[in-house]
Structure 1
Amino acid sequence: MALFSYHQHSSEMFLGFIIFLVFKGVLGATFTFVNKCDYTIWPGILGKPDLGSTGFELKKGASRSFQAPAGWSGRFWARTDCKFDDSGHGTCGTGDCGSGSIDCNGLGANPPATLAEFTLGSGSQDYYDVSLVDGYNLPMMVEANGGSGTCASTGCVADLNRRCPSELKVDGGDACNSACRAFGTPEYCCNGAFGSPSTCKPSTYSQMFKSACPKSYSYAYDDATSTFTCTGADYTVTFCPSSSPSLKSLMGSGSDSGSSVEQAALATSSWLANLATGDSIRIQPCAAALFVALNLILSLLVYL
């Protein structure tokens, strides 16, 4: 009798687990947005079907959640320096969607803007990434909660506005363009004769982005190290996530070592940017390799 009771209980638990998975696949995922920036932001949403909002205000320290159905596909980003009147009409300094209102109404972000992109599976894997292909306006982190599979966190926590080359920087320094947007040439935009993975390779600019944010998309064909999967998870999208403990201890030690390392990294990045546009002085190939290696080492020291 006790053995029968045990097997009955186990069967009920297994059945409950299967029902949970089925309903989880139907329900999709909950997206929670958290603002850790020192200022108000206005997240934008572009995707189908509609989640009930296409844009909203999120004050410093606030959070807000939305339920997305299975099969939902779309993107999120933050708009900054927005000025809206009492009727909700206005514009934003970065990430503006051009709708003239708080709601984006089916319009995407005007580059440059850091993007979080999702495709939710229907009882199968979700795909997600953080993309800098359209440039960067603020740090962003995506974390998967309660799912199965790899479910790795991804994002860009580095302040790329501070290390943005002058030729990519927007007026005011509040965002950093991609090389495609800045120059518009096929080799940077991965179109025309450069419209395939075999012909469009990482540029010096995309490599700078990648060294600072190794898990983010740095150019159009950066799939291998930038796309992540998870099954049955909910997701937290954090704007301006807190710095890592190692970076906090480095910059808060009271010495000048942290600032010296960062200044050296910025200087090396500027040299690489000049090299890409042909403005740098001529140097031997071995010296160029040394500079690239130094840039990667310094980026790891500052941002990891």
Structure 2
Amino acid sequence: MIFLLVGFLFPLNSYCARQINIYNRCPFPVWPGIAGPGNPAGGGFRLENEQNRKINVVDDWQGIIWGRTFCDNRMRCATGGCANREQCNGTLGRAPFTAAEFSLNEANDEDVYSVSLINGYNIPILIEPFGGRGCLRAGGCISDINEICPVLMRVRTQRRGVNNNVVGCRSPCDALRSDLECCTGNFATPDVCFRSHVAQTFKDACPTAFSYRFDDATSSFSCQTNAELVSILVPMNFSPTLFFCLSVFKVVQFQNVDREITILNQCSFTTWVGIQGPRNPANGGFKLEAGARQTIYVEPTWIGTIWPRTGCDDGMDCATGSCGPHEECNGASGSPPMTVAEFSFETDGFNDTYSVSMLNGFNIPVLIDPYGPLECARAGGCYSNPNDACPMELAIQRAGKTVGCKTGCLVYNNNRECCRGVFANEVACSKTIAGQIFKAACPTAIAHELDDSNAMTCNGASYVVQFC
């Protein structure tokens, strides 16, 4: 994964632009509403299912983003509407709506962000941070609050031709108007205002979202804007993606049900996916244009690999990862160097194991992102590009540019670089050329033969394999 680089040996300031990517995973259109300095995108726009759009904000932006749903041609919305306009232009939405809140570049170079249910709930929102260090997801739900919303708090569609379904749930404060629920009056301090029974229902459904006024401890997240200078002292900037409807997570058992892996090409160039494993998913490969995605389905106990091929010509002669003269690999392995996503589903009858491996070298960053259970960690991703630090004798070059980096073991085939003999221990293995270059750039990928600390486990998830 290539992060947004916003500075080079210079401090960040309020004039630097930041990007927030808003992605609609709902099976219906959503109109994002935006309120904050600079009035980004005029305060709103329409997003169809599976569409995304990036907005630019200033480096110290403080604002909110929410979803408006079931809007008619006159922009009268069932939830979140802002004065019957597509562009809110500073007008806040009408409750109920789920809100993503940002306060960027606060004291100590920290970005603070959260998902809030203080204004009620309409659709799940997940904030997915990219960049920075120690950055965690915010929001996400394990059940749909609309399905469990108390009767007095329900909001239903009222448009002609639309089923009278529950599409929103008012907040306890908005619905009940009591000091106890609103943390006002005699309950205006955190020592006397606690999460009520109704607010607890919200918290149980969306455990990392704000459920009431004083819910900071478990729901407000911070991320170091330039927490650590990596590689050539380039600050890594937090650049979040906002997902609508990605995160109503119903954890299910996958016995006898095909598993889903979505492959997303975030590179600025075309890649060709290589796949190897039982049942030969997608015949082992396909072309993926920049920004495109494709989902494959594999058997419940699948053990296989996915890798990117780059720089391929019309005859499928690729600079990296080539599996032969065809777009479909049909069981053939790729030719190093290549970064590899590895999966082993339900090996113990329950848990999945997954990792990003550089034992075959590196061509482009690969990230495995599980979605479903909140505790499942990403694997892979890079803070800098190993190709930039690759020694010439290990480099694959095209037009004077390094496009891949082999391991020392592949090139020299000696005990030191292959972690054999007296070098068959983790300390010695970590000092190989690959162990140092790859690990520094991609700390959660497997960089050498004895580097098994970055094999992740998860149960009940689907996966996104992201290139770049």
1:76 aligns with 2:80: no
Aligned residue in 2 for 1:117:
101
1:211 CA displacement: 1.3
Note closer, same or farther for the CA distance 1:212–1:19 as it changes in structure 2 (3 Å cut). same
Please list the CA deviations of residues 232-290 of structure 1 after superposition, one character each: whole Å capped at 9, or x if unmatched: 2001000010555x724369969xxxxxxxxxxxxxxxxxxxxxxxxxxxxxxxxxxxx
CA distance in 2, matches of 1:162, 1:33: 25
1:29 CA displacement: 2.2
1:187 aligns with 2:152: no
Classify the secondary structure of the residue corresponding to 1:162: helix
1:143 aligns with 2:143: no
Note closer, same or farther for the CA distance 1:161–1:17 as it changes in structure 2 (3 Å cut). closer
Aligned residue in 2 for 1:296:
none
The 5 Å alignment of 1:233-252 reads 233-241=238-246, 244=249, 247-249=251-253
CA distance in 1, matches of 2:194, 2:6: 45
Note closer, same or farther for the CA distance 1:248–1:63 as it changes in structure 2 (3 Å cut). farther
The 5 Å alignment of 1:41-120 reads 41-84=30-73, 89-97=74-82, 99-120=83-104
1:156 aligns with 2:149: no
CA distance in 1, matches of 2:103, 2:6: 24
Letter in 2 for 1:143: E
Checking the alignment, whether the CA contact within 8 Å between 1:36 and 1:242 is kept in structure 2 is: no
CA distance in 2, matches of 1:249, 1:222: 32
Aligned residue in 2 for 1:167:
152
TM-score, structure 2 normalization: 0.47
CA distance in 1, matches of 2:42, 2:84: 15
Letter in 2 for 1:136: Y
The percentage of counterpart residues that share the same residue type is: 34
CA distance in 1, matches of 2:97, 2:255: 27
1:46 CA displacement: 0.6
Please list the CA deviations of residues 186-223 of structure 1 after superposition, one character each: whole Å capped at 9, or x if unmatched: 11111111111112111001111111111000000001
The 5 Å alignment of 1:177-216 reads 177-216=170-209
Checking the alignment, whether the CA contact within 8 Å between 1:138 and 1:175 is kept in structure 2 is: yes
Letter in 2 for 1:145: F
Classify the secondary structure of the residue corresponding to 2:53: strand
Letter in 2 for 1:139: P
Letter in 1 for 2:253: S
Note closer, same or farther for the CA distance 1:177–1:100 as it changes in structure 2 (3 Å cut). same
1:127 aligns with 2:112: yes
1:25 CA displacement: 6.7
The 5 Å alignment of 1:29-48 reads 29-48=18-37
Aligned residues: CA RMSD: 2.7
TM-score, structure 1 normalization: 0.71
CA distance in 2, matches of 1:17, 1:93: 39
Unaligned runs of at least 5 residues, structure 1: 1-15, 255-299
Note closer, same or farther for the CA distance 1:40–1:228 as it changes in structure 2 (3 Å cut). same
Q: Which moved more, 1:124-133 or 1:103-112?
A: 103-112
Note closer, same or farther for the CA distance 1:20–1:62 as it changes in structure 2 (3 Å cut). farther
Aligned residue in 2 for 1:3:
none
CA distance in 2, matches of 1:94, 1:77: 10
Classify the secondary structure of the residue corresponding to 1:220: coil
CA distance in 1, matches of 2:132, 2:176: 41
Checking the alignment, whether the CA contact within 8 Å between 2:39 and 2:89 is kept in structure 1 is: no
1:37 CA displacement: 0.5
1:173 CA displacement: 1.0
Classify the secondary structure of the residue corresponding to 1:175: strand
Checking the alignment, whether the CA contact within 8 Å between 1:25 and 1:124 is kept in structure 2 is: no
Classify the secondary structure of the residue corresponding to 1:224: helix
Please list the CA deviations of residues 2-29 of structure 1 after superposition, one character each: whole Å capped at 9, or x if unmatched: xxxxxxxxxxxxxx99626635874242
Letter in 2 for 1:240: C
1:50 CA displacement: 2.1
Classify the secondary structure of the residue corresponding to 2:180: helix
1:133 CA displacement: 1.0
Checking the alignment, whether the CA contact within 8 Å between 2:126 and 2:242 is kept in structure 1 is: yes
Please list the CA deviations of residues 46-101 of structure 1 after superposition, one character each: whole Å capped at 9, or x if unmatched: 111322320100011100001111111000000000112xxxx431111112x221
Q: Which moved more, 1:72-81 or 1:188-197?
A: 188-197
CA distance in 1, matches of 2:132, 2:24: 23
Classify the secondary structure of the residue corresponding to 2:93: coil
Classify the secondary structure of the residue corresponding to 2:76: strand
Checking the alignment, whether the CA contact within 8 Å between 1:28 and 1:120 is kept in structure 2 is: no
